[in-house]
């Protein structure tokens, strides 16, 4: 790993690729406003269209169905608030899961305060959404279901295709949204194959820059805009486009090496290396995991202490979702899975990338073993 660090926090963000850096430099030189009618503006617009084509090709969808946003959070909010508003006359029931990213959960909590009936579906001990409970909750009044594709804390793949079948059977007026921020670029993400009406993706999770995301919507009439003030992106997401961020997103997507099997081998290798440490618990289903995330509890120690001990050795991991890192309460995901307080308090998230090497795994595991032992000696 560059500069003698071992970076295992790729679920939080990835390092911008050289292609993304070059795209950002190119955007700085072609600085025209893409809405301007002169040559510089038209050139910027042309570059955005090319980047859009790259991302839409990767998703297997029409480029006209892509909206660029400031990131995954805005894309999730646009999908959820936009769909709830557009479908309110058809029903007021919304369904999501208790293990979603905060940008989804907080949006639904806001809609609940605005009068919508929101059902929060639980998960089993392996971190998989309870589809039986979802089927019981779904009815004719349901207009939106939002369940993530890959959980951002455990890496567990959720059964989106099965959820689509349930919606088709029980809730004909419902749209299906899936937060694919942790799956896009790491495994196949095809909205039509999944049966998703809307999906969210993000640039900085695939070696693009922070501050750029995208929302796929199969039919723009399904949602209402949540931002107002301009003609850009068909008035669905007005505001001058982030040309540099979009071009970097396209460049990063073009380079994506979707090697799910490699990530799975890295994860399995880390589990094998860590298995020699006593009193640990691997959290999340083994059979349905993206391979990009390993959540492990070192029972009896505080994860934050371990995180900083590893940082001192230039090994970088996290204690869960980066968006929740300043919250005092424990992980809502691990809590929903039924973990004890000790197991949650000792949980760290190790996340991999195709740039991660077998040496990174071995070296990091050795350091983790020594630091865990040292922390336990002084407890």
| Catalytically active residues, by annotation | 323
Rounded to whole angstroms, the Cα distance separating 78 from 95 reads 16
Whole-number Å distance between alpha carbons of 105 and 336: 13
Kindly give the residue spans of alpha helices, DSSP state H, lying in 205-357. Answer: 243-255, 260-274, 303-312, 332-336, 341-345
In angstroms, the CA 173 to CA 14 distance is: 38
| 3-state DSSP assignment of residue 123 | strand
What residues contact residue 284 under an 8 Å CB cut-off, 6+ apart? Answer: 126, 127, 151, 154, 155, 156, 293, 295, 337
Backbone φ, ψ for residue 265 (5° rounding): -65, -40
- Roughly what angle, to the nearest 10 degrees, separates helices 358-377 and 260-274? 30
Q: Is 360 exposed, middle or buried (0-12, 13-18, 19+ CB in 10 A)?
A: buried
Nearest in space to 211 (alpha carbons), one of 72, 304, 102, 55: 72
On the CB side of 148, CA atoms within 13 Å amount to: 31
Give the up-direction half-sphere exposure of residue 136: CA atoms within 13 A in the CB hemisphere: 7
């Amino acid at each position: 790993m560059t500069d003698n660090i071992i970076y295992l926090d790729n679920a939080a963000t990835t390092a911008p690729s050289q292609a993304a850096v070059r795209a950002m430099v190119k955007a700085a030189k072609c600085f025209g406003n893409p809405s301007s009618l002169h040559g510089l503006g038209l050139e910027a617009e042309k570059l955005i269209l090319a980047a859009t084509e790259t991302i839409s090709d990767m998703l297997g969808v029409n480029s006209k169905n892509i909206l660029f946003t400031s990131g995954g959070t805005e894309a999730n909010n646009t999908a959820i608030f936009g769909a709830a508003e557009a479908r309110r006359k058809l029903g007021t029931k919304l369904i999501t899961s208790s293990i979603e990213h905060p940008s989804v959960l907080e949006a639904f909590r806001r809609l609940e305060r605005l009068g919508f009936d929101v059902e929060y579906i639980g998960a089993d001990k392996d971190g998989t959404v309870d589809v039986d409970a979802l089927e019981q909750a779904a009815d004719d009044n349901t207009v939106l279901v939002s369940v993530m594709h890959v959980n951002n804390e455990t890496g567990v793949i959720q059964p989106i295709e099965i959820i689509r079948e349930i919606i088709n059977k029980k809730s004909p007026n419902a749209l299906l949204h899936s937060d694919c921020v942790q799956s896009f670029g790491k495994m196949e993400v095809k909205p039509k194959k999944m049966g998703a009406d809307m999906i969210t993706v993000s640039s900085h999770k695939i070696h693009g820059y922070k501050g750029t995301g995208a929302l796929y919507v199969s039919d723009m009439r399904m949602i209402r805009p949540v931002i107002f003030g301009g003609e850009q992106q068909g008035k669905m997401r007005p505001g001058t486009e982030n040309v540099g961020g979009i071009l970097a997103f396209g460049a990063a997507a073009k380079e994506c090496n979707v090697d799910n099997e490699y990530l799975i081998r890295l994860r399995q290798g880390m589990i094998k290396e860590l298995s020699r440490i006593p009193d640990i618990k691997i959290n999340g289903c083994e059979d349905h995991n993206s391979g990009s995330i390993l959540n492990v509890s070192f029972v009896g120690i505080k994860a934050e202490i371990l995180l900083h001990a590893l940082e001192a050795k230039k090994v970088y991991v996290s204690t869960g979702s980066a968006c929740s890192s300043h919250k005092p309460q424990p992980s809502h995901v691990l809590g929903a899975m039924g973990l004890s307080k000790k197991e949650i308090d000792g949980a760290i998230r190790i996340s991999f990338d195709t740039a991660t090497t077998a040496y990174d795994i071995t070296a990091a595991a050795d350091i983790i073993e020594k630091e865990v032992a040292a922390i336990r000696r002084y407890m």
